[in-house]
Amino acid sequence: MAEIQDRWGSRLGEWEGASIVRVTQGKAVPLGPIMTDTDLDILGPWFEDTASAMAEAVREREGDFRWLSRELGGGAGVSSPTMENILTILVCALTLDSWVFSLLRQAVIGTYPPRGRAGRFFFWGYAFEKGPQRIFGFTTYGGLKGRRLHMIRSHGLDREAIKKALDRGENWDYLQAVLERKEILSFDRTETLPSEARLAERAVKTLQGVGLVDGRDPSRLAVPVFGEEDQEKISRLCGPVSRTIMGYLTKAFQDFETLLPRCSFARCSRSDVLCMLFHLAYSYAADRLVEEGVIPDFPRRAGGEWGVWIS
């Protein structure tokens, strides 16, 4: 018991040093903002207006987003699921999240705050029943040489299988080989496979199972890969739309200051609060865009066929 208490005491000390909690009378009190249903009652009109403006900025360029999704998917013959997958990546992950967040950090929120040994990150959470339905973000993995793999995460979306696959180095090695179009081992089941071939065979089965490579021989990537020219095209669309959204958010955050004193997180770090507001606002915007048919709905479970890309 003493060992457990010492370990938790050390953990709480680290959290306190990272400004994640404050220890008062032996209890840990979270310092990050937590959005509650009561807060949403106060901020409902604010979120309504903000999400509406964000969705409108996307809706005005819906045709351009669809054209670019088709172009990045291979042109006129692209399948509907592939095009809709790329559309979701462009609208949700890149425009609403990444591009706008980059502008916000530069102009309003500031850089990621230090959290002691835990690193640098914004810290917030939610505890509500009536908030946005599609709360999302995306994770970036650096297991490839010169490129990164990105994966959309969403509340209620099961991505455990693909996350486990990305925990194994042999799977990254195989993805790298496919990406570089290196010679892929051919498996002769009449002979004993050398250890390297056995690892590659296991990687193929795993990566096919989670939808990161296809079943062809040799394997090919089953997720979009955006090269430099692709990213220039993306920039020409996502950049202007994100700047339009940024202009609205700057004013919206000013309006929010009059509501802040009534919220449960009024004394929390301003940067954490604004980060939370931004993420929930674009999640509300995603709800609107799904309801209006601008983007497809989010799945409940997905592998590489949805919300995964390499750039």
Tens-digit pLDDT profile for residues 63-99? 999 999 999 999 988 999 999 999 999 999 999 999 9
Whether the pLDDT of residue 42 is over 50: the answer is yes
Reported confidence tier of residue 8, pLDDT bands at 50, 70, 90: low
Instruction: Output the average pLDDT for the chain.
Output: 89
How much is the pLDDT for 7? 55
Q: How far apart are CA 20 and CA 6, in angstroms?
A: 19
pLDDT tops 80 at residue 11: no
Tokens 């609205």 correspond to 248
pLDDT higher for 4 or 67?
A: 67
| Residue with more model confidence, 34 or 180 | 34
How does pLDDT run across 124-142, given as a tens digit for each residue? 999 999 999 999 999 999 9
Alpha helices in 2-79 (DSSP H): 2-17, 37-59, 62-72
Q: What is the rounded CA–CA span in Å between residue 160 and residue 46? A: 34
Q: Judge whether 241 lies within some domain.
A: yes
Longest dimension (CA), the chain: 74
CB atoms within 10 A of CB 188: 9
Pairing between strand 136-141 and 149-154? antiparallel
In percent, how much of the chain has pLDDT > 70? 86
pLDDT in tens, 225-239: 999 999 999 999 999
4 pLDDT exceeds 60?
A: no
What is the reported pLDDT for 196? Answer: 59
- The closest of 307, 298, 300, 281 to 35, measured between CA atoms, is 281
Report the number of distinct structural domains present in the chain.
Answer: 1
Q: How many CB atoms lie within 10 A of CB 307?
A: 25
Q: Per-residue pLDDT for 2 more than 90?
A: no
Task: Name the pLDDT band for 115 (thresholds 50, 70, 90).
Answer: confident
Predicted confidence at residue 171, as pLDDT, reads 94
The verdict on residue 172 lying in a domain is yes
Span of 130-139, 153-162, 186-195, 268-277 with lowest mean pLDDT = 186-195
CA–CA separation, 174 and 219 (whole Å): 10
Amino acid at 72: L
Cα distance between residue 294 and residue 135, in whole Å? 17
- Residue pair 92/152 in contact by the 8 Å Cβ criterion: yes
pLDDT score at 274 = 96
Each residue's pLDDT tens digit, 141-178? 999 999 999 999 998 899 999 999 999 999 999 999 88
- How many Å apart are CA 90 and CA 311, to the nearest integer? 13
Beta-strand runs (E) in the chain: 21-24, 27-30, 34-36, 125-127, 136-141, 149-154, 308-310
Residue 284 belongs to a domain: yes
Q: Is 179 among the domain residues?
A: yes
Distance CA 290, CA 223 (A): 22
pLDDT surpasses 50 at 45? yes
Give the Cβ contact number of residue 139 at 10 Å.
12
Q: Which two tokens stand for residue 186?
A: 């051919």
The CA R_g of the chain, rounded to the nearest whole Å, is: 22
Is residue 148 in a domain? yes
Q: Which domain holds residue 212?
A: 29-310
254 CB burial (10 A radius; 0-12, 13-18, 19+): exposed
Q: Tell me, yes or no, whether 279 lies in a domain.
A: yes
In a domain, 5, yes or no: no
Residue 11 forms part of a structural domain? no
